[in-house]
Chain A
Amino acid sequence: MAMLELTNLCKSFGDLRAVDDLSLTIETGEVFGLLGPNGAGKTTTIHMATGLLVPDSGTVVLNMQGSPADPEVRANIGVAPQALSLYEELTGQENLDFFGSLQGLSGKGLAQRVEASLEFVSLADRRKDLVKSYSGGMKRRLNIAVALIHEPRIVLLDEPTVGVDPQSRNAIFDNILELKAHGVTVVYTTHYMEEAEKLCDRVAIMDNGKILALDSLPGLINAHGGQSVVILEGPDGEKRIETDHPLDEIVKRKDQSDIASFRVERPDLERVFLNLTGRQLRD
């Protein structure tokens, strides 16, 4: 069942075409990666998907209920924006209390959700501390907790690991996988290939406001990754052999005495992006 349907979305800012005729469908319960370099149009797409921006043309349907511009429909969404959206002069608990109240929670139900959200992102022991005293990683985790306070059916995480330490990044990955296990749909935007590879069931590669490719990870690699590369190192330097069967290539050369070492480069999303756009993702 489709949780989010974007159809022929277009959005321009002056002369800049930020999103250009974008269509995609995100299924319930999947972790969907929106991958692209800075300025590809990911955040604009997220903002239109959440009703924050009105598309110039095209439609957004959420949970088969209608446009997220409708507050009732929007209540299905939880968003962790790229820019931290927290009140630094409030404690972690007060932030959750406030945003939970705005979502219509109150009393015991609110208290339970605050508790569960703090536990989920491992911040229960820092609940009474002002957010301004948190580390960058803790703020990111609280940012996600606020997105989850009202138990949304779909969570949009916009670059949730920007500027966080490896420990917090791993904690965020665990959170996302746990959300998936609970059947929550996750839309994850990033320009880190390894994150998409680790977390996402399907990935859309975006550049210049367009979807260049959309498939599961193996599907994208098969379609756009090219061949594996066997790299042989000997006295004359490196030798690169492109092949669909790297193991066969290695076995074939097992008796050659001039090979000091070898390694295999499998196609990955980085290669997919390079092949699709002609440039590196982080260019």
Chain B
Amino acid sequence: MNKIWILAKKDLRLLIRDKTGAFFTFGFPIMYALFFGMIFKNMGGGGPTTMEIIVVDQDQTQASQAFVHKLNESDSTRIVEKNLEEAVELVQKGKKPAYVLIREGYGEAAQNIFGGNPPAFEIGVDPSKRVQSMILEGVLMQHAADNFSRAFSDKDTMSKQIARSRERVTQSEDLNATERVIFSTFFAALDSFMQNAPSGNTTDGEMGGGFGSMTPAVITTKEITQQKTDTGNTFNITFPQSLVWGLMGCAATFGISLVVERVRGTLVRLRMSPISYAQILAGKGLACFICLIAVNGIMLVFGMLVFDLSPNNYPLLVLAILCSSVCFVGIMMLLSVLGKTEASAGGIGWAVLIVMAMLGGGMIPYMFLPDWIKTIASVSPVKWTVIAMEGAIFRGFTLGDMMLPCGVLLGIGVVCFALGARVFRWMES
């Protein structure tokens, strides 16, 4: 271990002496991490291919079933029906972006065109996926409005509605005699109009413009986290992705350090020393690890001081940072042994990191990715890094919840490092 530390100390000293290198290791990753954080924070536009939504239908009426069916037929949404408990858990864990709760009474409320409460939905949304939440609200409102306009264009439905409304006017104690006369006259005229109107339904939305003041549905949105009722501030949500970019940028600069040793001839001297290939690689890995921790630490302090970042659970965030760093060290050590020149090592490093970021939702939010990419995203450590960071920062993960992402990250790191050591030994001998 002592020799690994000696090697790491030398690399850190070299890094500090090289001011340009130090900037690109520490300063630049922080800069573009913040840049990407800001971009994701304000990101909008661009529709998803299909959103996977959980529907909790507590009403179980013909109307609610029809509404669910309509949602499922939509190109924008794909529906999975669950009970409320399961739905909340899936959103909490980040496995689904949102759920729609259709409460009991929906069927009756859907009939209330001229009075009473409109149908209400509750959306439970993953706070890191607000864009999806907004899209979902739009989809729900659209379907509710369709129902609303369909009711107006159906003569039988309208007749029943008018009859119910006339009855309510008659029975209402809130109306005075004059108002009662006015409403009775209005509904009688409307009934007469509907009786004389041509039969058959109009097309969707044909009548929608005339009832703009009426509300087709009431939608309430609720952020789903375990321990906190909100996420603190929006920077909490984008910060995990910022950390990922910080990790990738810092790791990339270390990806070429072994090639630099080779090209400058010092690798021969290292190999002549009484140390193993794995120790040489571990020394580089340790220096890289220290830098990754430093970069994430600086970003964390910066985020707390400047952006009022308030992670949910500091020990778990430290755990997430440690595991992510181990993972990226392992990956970069494997990649570093593959390059023959500084250019090729740098190219390989960035190419792999960018692909991992693309697959894992580091560049384009996960929701916008095609299904086939989502399927293979699990091989990307970026995905697991984001999950672990989000879990600690705002999802309120427990230690048990952290086991999967952290275990995957550690596993990737250790396997890549071992593979790197073998390849290094094979290539050098």
Binary contact readout B1-26 vs A (1 if CB under 8 angstroms, 0 otherwise): 00100110010011001100000000
- Point out the residues of chain B lying under 8 angstroms from A86, CB to CB: 265-266
Task: Assess whether A101 is in contact with B17, with CB atoms less than 8 Å apart.
Answer: no
Given the interface pairs A53-B429, A87-B10, A90-B17, the reply to whether A104 lies near B274 with Cβ below 8 Å is yes
Task: Assess whether A52 is in contact with B13, with CB atoms less than 8 Å apart.
Answer: no
Decide if the interface of chain A is mainly helix, strand, loop or mixed: loop
Q: Which residue of A lies closest to B271 (CB)?
A: A52
- Point out the residues of chain A lying under 8 angstroms from B7, CB to CB: 102
Complex A-B, nearest 9 residue pairs according to Cβ-Cβ distance, in ascending order:
A71-B274, A83-B265, A85-B269, A102-B273, A89-B17, A85-B265, A101-B6, A75-B274, A81-B268
- Point out the residues of chain A lying under 8 angstroms from B269, CB to CB: 79, 81, 85, 99, 146
Binary contact readout A70-102 vs B (1 if CB under 8 angstroms, 0 otherwise): 011011010101011111111000100011011
14 additional A-B residue pairs with CB within 8 Å, beyond A83-B268, A104-B274: A54-B429, A71-B273, A72-B274, A74-B272, A81-B268, A85-B264, A85-B265, A85-B269, A87-B14, A94-B13, A98-B6, A102-B3, A103-B273, A103-B274
Q: Tell me which residues from 240 to 268 in chain B have a Cβ below 8 Å from any Cβ of chain A.
A: 264-266, 268
Binary contact readout A44-56 vs B (1 if CB under 8 angstroms, 0 otherwise): 0000001111100
Task: Assess whether A87 is in contact with B266, with CB atoms less than 8 Å apart.
Answer: yes
Task: Assess whether B265 is in contact with A84, with CB atoms less than 8 Å apart.
Answer: yes
- Point out the residues of chain B lying under 8 angstroms from A72, CB to CB: 274
Task: Assess whether A89 is in contact with B268, with CB atoms less than 8 Å apart.
Answer: no
- Point out the residues of chain A lying under 8 angstroms from B6, CB to CB: 98, 101-102
CB distance from B88 to the nearest CB of A (A): 55
Task: Assess whether B275 is in contact with A71, with CB atoms less than 8 Å apart.
Answer: yes
- Point out the residues of chain B lying under 8 angstroms from A98, CB to CB: 6, 10
B276 at the interface (CB under 8 A from A): yes
- Point out the residues of chain B lying under 8 angstroms from A94, CB to CB: 13
Task: Assess whether B13 is in contact with A77, with CB atoms less than 8 Å apart.
Answer: no
Which B positions have Cβ atoms within 8 angstroms of A?
3, 6-7, 10, 13-14, 17-18, 264-266, 268-276, 428-429
CA distance A113 to B202 in the complex (A): 97
CA distance A98 to B13 in the complex (A): 11
CA distance A72 to B273 in the complex (A): 9
CA distance A94 to B14 in the complex (A): 11
CA distance A71 to B277 in the complex (A): 11
Q: Which residue of B lies closest to A47 (CB)?
A: B268
CB distance from A219 to the nearest CB of B (A): 32
CA distance A103 to B17 in the complex (A): 24
CA distance A28 to B131 in the complex (A): 77
**Other-chain contact of B273, A53, A81, A99 (Cβ < 8 Å):** A99
- Point out the residues of chain A lying under 8 angstroms from B264, CB to CB: 83, 85, 88
- Point out the residues of chain B lying under 8 angstroms from A85, CB to CB: 264-266, 268-269
CA distance A63 to B395 in the complex (A): 63
Identify the interface centre among A71, A84, A87: most chain B CB within 10 Å of its CB. A87
- Point out the residues of chain B lying under 8 angstroms from A53, CB to CB: 429
20 A-B contacts (beta carbon < 8 Å)? A52-B271, A52-B272, A71-B273, A74-B273, A74-B274, A75-B274, A79-B268, A79-B272, A81-B269, A83-B265, A85-B268, A86-B266, A87-B14, A89-B14, A89-B18, A90-B10, A98-B6, A98-B10, A102-B3, A130-B17
Task: Assess whether B429 is in contact with A90, with CB atoms less than 8 Å apart.
Answer: no
- Point out the residues of chain B lying under 8 angstroms from A102, CB to CB: 3, 6-7, 270, 273-275
- Point out the residues of chain B lying under 8 angstroms from A90, CB to CB: 10, 13-14, 17
Binary contact readout A30-57 vs B (1 if CB under 8 angstroms, 0 otherwise): 0000000000000000000011111000
- Point out the residues of chain B lying under 8 angstroms from A89, CB to CB: 14, 17-18
Q: Which residue of B lies closest to A101 (CB)?
A: B6
Identify the interface centre among A77, A83, A85: most chain B CB within 10 Å of its CB. A85
CA distance A99 to B13 in the complex (A): 14
- Point out the residues of chain B lying under 8 angstroms from A52, CB to CB: 268, 271-272, 428
- Point out the residues of chain B lying under 8 angstroms from A103, CB to CB: 273-274
- Point out the residues of chain A lying under 8 angstroms from B18, CB to CB: 89
Q: Which residue of A lies closest to B273 (CB)?
A: A102
Identify the interface centre among B10, B272, B273, B275: most chain A CB within 10 Å of its CB. B272
CA distance A247 to B131 in the complex (A): 102
- Point out the residues of chain A lying under 8 angstroms from B273, CB to CB: 71, 74, 99, 102-103
- Point out the residues of chain A lying under 8 angstroms from B428, CB to CB: 52
CB distance from B353 to the nearest CB of A (A): 26
CA distance A44 to B44 in the complex (A): 61
CA distance A88 to B18 in the complex (A): 11
CA distance A71 to B268 in the complex (A): 14
Q: Which residue of B lies closest to A102 (CB)?
A: B273
CB distance from B339 to the nearest CB of A (A): 18
CB distance from A132 to the nearest CB of B (A): 10
Given the interface pairs A83-B265, A102-B6, the reply to whether A77 lies near B272 with Cβ below 8 Å is yes
Q: Tell me which residues from 177 to 225 in chain A have a Cβ below 8 Å from any Cβ of chain B.
A: none
- Point out the residues of chain A lying under 8 angstroms from B14, CB to CB: 87, 89-90
Q: Tell me which residues from 94 to 140 in chain A have a Cβ below 8 Å from any Cβ of chain B.
A: 94, 98-99, 101-104, 130
Identify the interface centre among A88, A89, A94: most chain B CB within 10 Å of its CB. A89
- Point out the residues of chain B lying under 8 angstroms from A74, CB to CB: 272-274
**Other-chain contact of B272, A50, A83, A87, A88 (Cβ < 8 Å):** A50
- Point out the residues of chain A lying under 8 angstroms from B10, CB to CB: 87, 90, 98
CA distance A72 to B275 in the complex (A): 9
CA distance A102 to B5 in the complex (A): 10
CB distance from B18 to the nearest CB of A (A): 6
- Point out the residues of chain A lying under 8 angstroms from B265, CB to CB: 81, 83-86
Q: Which residue of A lies closest to B280 (CB)?
A: A102
CB distance from A4 to the nearest CB of B (A): 15
- Point out the residues of chain A lying under 8 angstroms from B271, CB to CB: 52
Q: Which residue of B lies closest to A130 (CB)?
A: B17
**Other-chain contact of A71, B17, B276, B429 (Cβ < 8 Å):** B276
CB distance from B77 to the nearest CB of A (A): 58
CA distance A99 to B266 in the complex (A): 10
CA distance A99 to B270 in the complex (A): 8
CA distance A63 to B266 in the complex (A): 25
CA distance A48 to B258 in the complex (A): 22
CA distance A98 to B266 in the complex (A): 12
CA distance A86 to B276 in the complex (A): 20
